[in-house]
Structure 1
Amino acid sequence: MGARPVLTVLQQFNAPTPKTNPYLIQLLRALEPMVRVQFWSLRRALLTRYDVVHLHWPEYTMRHSSALGRLLRQAAVALLLLRWTLMRTPVVRTLHNLEPHERGGIIESVLLRWMDRLVVRWIRINATTEARLPATDTVLHGHYRDWFGAQSLRPVPGRLLHFGLIRPYKGVEVLLDVMAGLADRGLALRIVGNPSDAAMRELVERKCDADARVSALLQYVDDATLAREVAEAELVVLPYREMHNSGTLLLALSLSRPVLVPRTGNNEAVSAEVGEGWVLMYDGELSPEVVEEGLRRARALGGGGSRPDLSRREWLRAGQQHYRTYAAAIRARRARGRNSGMERRRVIASKGR
């Protein structure tokens, strides 16, 4: 890899801070020294040069808390897409989500469709995502073992955990209702993460007041706190209404904690990959019986230092795969440009005859 040219890639996320998604920071580390990264800003995207654009959550390039700010960003994105079109800029996009979790209006939808038409290479982070034209590469979501390190804490008996950004599609309100239906007074539910809005915060706080077995830490938590919360859980419960890719699932597995999730194609694939007993799936709606059975199966794993198999999710491999995708995107854009030039020359020549 050392003999290959260093590529300049405009990544669609800001320079890292203590609150940056660890997936993105680990991706940056995996790309060194093959890639020179430029961090996202609309000004930089419009005015600087780069070899490839890598989109992650493109809807956030045009969102703003005010209507005027949103309109200005959308106008800037339209200019940016025009630049990418005219300059034949290679665009790569990772399919973290199949659709945005929250809708952003008609103008955003039109711009997102335009953006998708410019993508020359897609990256899917699980093998069950449907491939998209013109080309799709599979780069599995990397693990978090190196990020969090080894944890020596033992799980607290009966502790259930739901963690991550608390958003409506993640089904936390369903889990809270199920907890109320669990008769076992030895069980406890811990909710950890920042609510997406005031209504979600109020809902969780109300349930905590109503049931002494439910407690919550409703804020962004640092890595050490998160690792401790996950390590102390006997079972992580993620009753998402929409679950395609989940970094939360991979994080729990990285810390060797079994996870209860709805049955989906991707969850079945992860279960087969990591080994029996780590990804516990249910059909239909979450219920007290489903949680009780999940906890029973989690306890059957026992101790002994066993860990899920995450060997296919090493970041060194992911970095090399990303580099190959960038290089292929550049080649595809150049080939498309040559073909377009040849077609124009054929048209001109035919008109001259």
Structure 2
Amino acid sequence: MSDPREQRPVRVLQSFGGPRPTTNPYLVQLLDSLPADVRARTFSWRDALRGDYDVLHVHWPELLVRSAGRGRTALRRLAFTALMLRLLLRRSAVVRTLHNVSPHEGGSASERALLRWLDRSTTRYVRLNPATEPPTAAPVDTILHGDYTRWYADQTVPDPVPGRVLHFGLVRPYKGVEELLDAFAAVTTPGAQLRLVGRATDDGLAARIRAAERTDARVSTLLDYVDDETLAHEVGSASLVVLPYRRMHNSGALLLALSLGRPVLVPSNEVTEALAQEVGGHWVRTYPGDAVTTAAVEEALSLPVDGVPGPDLSRRDWTDIGRLHRDTYRAAVTARRAG
């Protein structure tokens, strides 16, 4: 006889709070895509420590142990410790999505120890591409990162401006913006211009960008958070999106650009070459080496996309992604009960 618990909806607590205008669209679309037999809710510490749920689904685990100031960080880590003990005592399953190989900004030794504890407690991993190696031997499911086609379906997307190169998203040191500025300074393509859009998280990097804007009339910036309407306009106006990340692994920005029908220049690695094979080489253009070069930008700008079939994003449909997450949650619950 089947376990009646397997017939009821699986209850999932996500590790992010209620959606806001600045919430990563990946998370919002994941919530919306989950089928009716998944009862998902967003995170609060009260719910995490006192609520009933079958699965804790963790995204970017470092955010669970970080806060502003030493005192608040210490309290957050005490709460995290209590959460880990509660998960153990209640035999709750933990699913963790491997968005990054490691946190973009490194943490302290105590933070790393807490995150290793979470890894040891993880029942099942979700990876967004098959190249990601999970940190433990727990089972892993590959569920590709979804597209943004429906997310931007109601936005107006303008025609591309010939020669316009765009970099967008949070401006962080690891994203290779300084190398892009250096490479673009030597670009001689007629009509070329560089647009940088997104909030800068590093004051020194922001100053470097503004200096380039002052000295090169072809460079313009909007160094602030932008809403979906503005972002659709900025991406649509680009002839080429350049994402010269020093550690390119999973990129929502890359898929966003493809969803709006704009070609992207990225570093060559196992992940980006596989994506080029999947969606079409006209749309994902790669360069070798650690840093983007002037030649790579000029060559990518010279390749037309007129008459080329749009990027094939058929494997990135959110209906399938929601169903696959449901299957992962159920497998994790079954394994936790059996173990």
Paired residue type of 1:315: W
1:290 aligned partner: 296
% same residue: 51
Q: Specify the alignment match of 1:149 in structure 2.
A: 153
Corresponding position: 1:50 with 2:53: yes
Instruction: List runs of 5+ in structure 1 lacking aligned partners.
Output: 337-353
Query: What is the match of residue 202 of structure 2?
Result: 197
**Equivalent residue in structure 2 for 1:100, among 99, 103, 116:** 103
Match in the other structure for 1:308: 311
Matched, 1:237 2:237: no
* Residues 54, 93 of structure 1: 8 Å contact kept: yes
Separation in structure 2 between the aligned mates of residue 140 and residue 280 of structure 1, nearest angstrom: 20
1:129 to partner: Cα distance: 1.6
Question: Equivalents in 2 of 1:206, 1:71: separation in Å?
Answer: 39
Q: Which residue of 2 aligns with 1:225?
A: 230
Q: Residues 4, 275 of structure 1: CA spacing in aligned structure 2 closer, same or farther, 3 A cutoff?
A: farther
Aligned mate of 1:188, from 183, 187, 193: 193
Structure 1 residues 4 and 181 mapped into 2: Cα distance closer, same or farther (>3 Å)?
farther
Equivalent in the alignment of 1:318 = 321
Measure the CA separation in 1 of the matches of 2:46 and 2:108: 23
Q: CA deviation at 1:247?
A: 0.6
Matched to 2:311, the amino acid is P
Is 1:257 paired with 2:257? no
What is the deviation of 1:41? Answer: 2.1
Q: Deviations over 1:22-72 (max 9, x none)?
A: 111110110142222221122221111111000011100111120111111
Which residue does the alignment assign to 2:3?
none
Q: Offset of 1:149 from its aligned partner?
A: 1.3
Q: How many residues align?
A: 331
- With over 3 angstroms needed to count, the CA separation of the structure-2 counterparts of 1:85 and 1:196, relative to structure 1, is same
Match for 1:269 among 258, 269, 274?
Answer: 274
User: C-alpha distance in 2, partners of 1:4/1:329?
Assistant: 15
Whole-Å separation in 2 of the counterparts to 1:183 and 1:296: 12
Question: Match for 2:74 among 71, 90, 102?
Answer: 71
Structure 2: gaps spanning 5 or more residues:
1-5
Does structure 1 residue 334 correspond to structure 2 residue 330? no
- Which amino acid in structure 2 is aligned with residue 140 of structure 1? L
Counterpart secondary structure, 1:128? coil
Taking only aligned residues, the RMSD between alpha carbons, in angstroms, comes to: 1.5
Tell me the distance in 2 between the aligned counterparts of 1:56 and 1:41.
14
For residues 152 and 183 of structure 1, the distance between their equivalents in structure 2, rounded to whole angstroms, comes to 28
The structure 2 residue matched to 1:82, chosen from 77, 81, 85, is 85
Q: 1 or 2, which has the higher helix percentage?
A: 1
Q: Which moved more, 1:253-262 or 1:5-14?
A: 5-14
* Corresponding position: 1:13 with 2:19: no
Taking the aligned partners of 1:190 and 1:330, their CA distance within structure 2 comes to 47
Shift of 1:302: 1.7
Is 1:173 aligned to 2:141, yes or no?
Answer: no
Structure ID, larger Rg: 1
1:76-132 C-alpha deviation (Å, 9 max, x unpaired): 111111111222210000000010011110111000000011111100111222355
Residue 125, structure 1, aligned to residue 128, structure 2: yes
Aligned counterpart for 2:215 among listed residues 210, 217, 225? 210
Give me the whole-angstrom Cα distance separating, in 2, the residues matched to 1:269 and 1:235: 20
**Alignment match of 1:247 (pick from 252, 259, 267):** 252
